[in-house]
Chain A
């Protein structure tokens, strides 16, 4: 089977700082990839390169077999994206925003409108379809963003912290939707800091630290390799972090205005 995404020797630096260092990846149809790493590890940069938002990188990125550097943007028709920054045009209503996005993907207005309205209904926020996004709660806005990323029936989904602010019931629905989409052959690139969700949801976990891939495999493989019980612990171990208790004590001491704890 041919990979849907192939990344070879991908490096990117901003000035002196190297954000990505020789990344190699093959991603296949129907995979849910948990893409994790500490803040500033290079997760968003990888995704932004694949979306064509960041140029001037070294190496090769192929999506659906096509080198994205060649300037052809057709591949974006089959991609959905929920950005971490949750940027939307807040002065628009969901109807206006979602149909606009749908039209940019090349859909007809009516088709996009019908689909968006139906999805809003299924996500339980139909009553605000004609309200401005600026009046939405965080969870509602996040749902609208997820709808905007799914409206074009994409083959690859890039989700960056997609569940933030969404209530527990809806989280269950969305997780199930993602699993079902993967079964239909969609590829999902899932970045999050919530390890429990990543652990449960992903078929394959890629851990990136300081611009390099430090772990790649399914959760069982990672557990045997690192001899740790949970993804959270694996994450701590691989990113070289083991002093959380000490730091926590120091934080509480600082809040209460007391003396520093010995040992830091």
Chain B
């Protein structure tokens, strides 16, 4: 039987868990099973599909974090002002941790199966919740090591062991605080809403949380006043005391540099006390959490359907019956399937907040220029996530219909579903972002917006072409599953960059915008036909 190193590591803290009233032996068993499940892939329902490679996608996606980690380690070379360097590192770190918690690990926090299987046995909800937190912690800790590992190595070399261990300890505290904090926020949402509404609220909450994290992160990097390069100062006003990265940076100032300023001592205390209090609250409320979770399963109430509108649109933009059917199917699934929404909606939050944040900040600084407009390309990040996750669903077992129904062409499945995400997710978001841009840049950018809109569609096709072709909603979500592999991600990002650069270059020629737009539309038509003609030919 497979023994996980992580569990051996946790054994060290056995006594601590028991003090919190957690049944450690049971906790260990639950965790072992969870890790065992993660190490396997769910077999797909569609039997004639090729077997996927056994490599763990999660490990591969760590590569991207490692890349950022190397970048972060540069801050370790700033001397003398630990409060500055460490709070910068921690704010970026917390940003990554929180966002991956919200998008990738919400499914663990909000899992319903555990309740039915485990809580009907003599296991208390405290132990089950501790298992959930530690399950998430396992992955978060790996991300932590990828992000902070390089910086930790630098610190070990430059500042010695004390610094290194303090670094490790604060990182773990941040991880725990982030996980517990996110769970508590979910609990709050679960308490106040119920039924069908709750399922929607959770997704909006995810979007809002993603936006909040991004804003908080932006705020963090702006609290420093640069007098000159060597003199960086921080005036501690009351509201800055609410910035968690400062709490966790303070101990370095206190212990390494011996700065016993009362503000620093206070912040250091917060770094220790807040996570502990959060954990205690979480343990105390865990039974409430479990009973509130049940609400997600209740099915009372009906959602009003806008079916007529969906049918109307499908008749306009789809050609044949199958394509129309899959357009409608995908539209309904992306609007209603809980697990899919849990995974995808946070990235929609990004796509709204990034471009807006950039132009609004510049708008108020009066540093707005033609270049600022291209921030709108950050909105196209959503394409990557949404198209990447389109093959996944919590109801993946329903995919047997693809096999048993007399579907003439798989190409029309893809056509219908790609159109559906473009119309139902990308278009409303794009319109929203465009309206703000129109307000800021005035009507001169109408043509540019048309170009960006077309480019988003082009990217949708390209992302679809690059990634593995699995039928929509036919695969199971798994903890370690990442929709797009590292290289696919890089390819799409580069394409995105090229499209944006070409757009900015088109300014240089007369009627450049129009010519560019025409070229994109032409490319779309060619690629669209080529991809799906090819798919049809392969089917024979």
Contact = CB atoms under 8 A, between A and B. Distances in A.
Given A14-B295, A53-B116, A83-B120, 19 more contacts: A14-B194, A14-B298, A17-B300, A48-B294, A53-B115, A54-B294, A56-B291, A71-B124, A71-B287, A73-B122, A73-B123, A76-B121, A79-B120, A87-B117, A92-B37, A96-B36, A104-B29, A106-B122, A135-B43
**Residue in B33, B121, B291, B295 whose Cβ sees the most chain A Cβ within 10 Å:** B121
A132 interface: yes
A176 to B, nearest CB: 25
Nearest to B118: A104
B40 A55 contact: no
Q: How large is the interface on B (under 10, 10 to 19, 20 to 34, 35 or more residues)?
A: 20 to 34
Contacts of B30: 104
A152 to B, nearest CB: 8
Contact of A134 (B26, B42, B194): B42
Interface string B35-55: 011001111000000000000
12 contacts: A14-B194, A48-B294, A53-B119, A55-B287, A74-B122, A89-B117, A91-B37, A91-B41, A91-B42, A92-B37, A100-B29, A104-B121
B161 to A, nearest CB: 41
A92 B116 contact: no
Most buried by A among B43, B122, B123: B122
Nearest to B294: A54
A224 interface: no
Interface of A: 14-15, 17, 48, 51-56, 71, 73-77, 79, 81, 83, 85, 87-92, 96, 100-101, 103-106, 132, 134-135
A105 B117 CA distance: 12
B376 to A, nearest CB: 42
B294 A90 contact: no
Contacts of A73: 122-124
Contacts of A134: 42-43
Contacts of A88: 117
Nearest to A109: B1
Contacts of B36: 91-92, 96
A83 to B, nearest CB: 5
B22 to A, nearest CB: 13
A76 B113 CA distance: 18
B20 to A, nearest CB: 16
B113 to A, nearest CB: 5
B300 A15 contact: yes
Contacts of B512: none
B195 interface: yes
Nearest to B34: A89
A81 B120 contact: yes
Contacts of A135: 43
A90 B42 contact: yes
A89 B116 CA distance: 11
Interface string B295-306: 100101000000
A154 to B, nearest CB: 11
Contacts of A71: 124, 287
Contacts of A89: 33, 37, 113, 117
Contacts of B116: 53, 83, 85, 87
- Nearest 7 interchain pairs by C-beta: A55-B291, A104-B121, A76-B122, A91-B40, A91-B37, A87-B116, A77-B122
Nearest to B117: A87
B24 to A, nearest CB: 13
Interface string B6-35: 000000000000000000001001100100
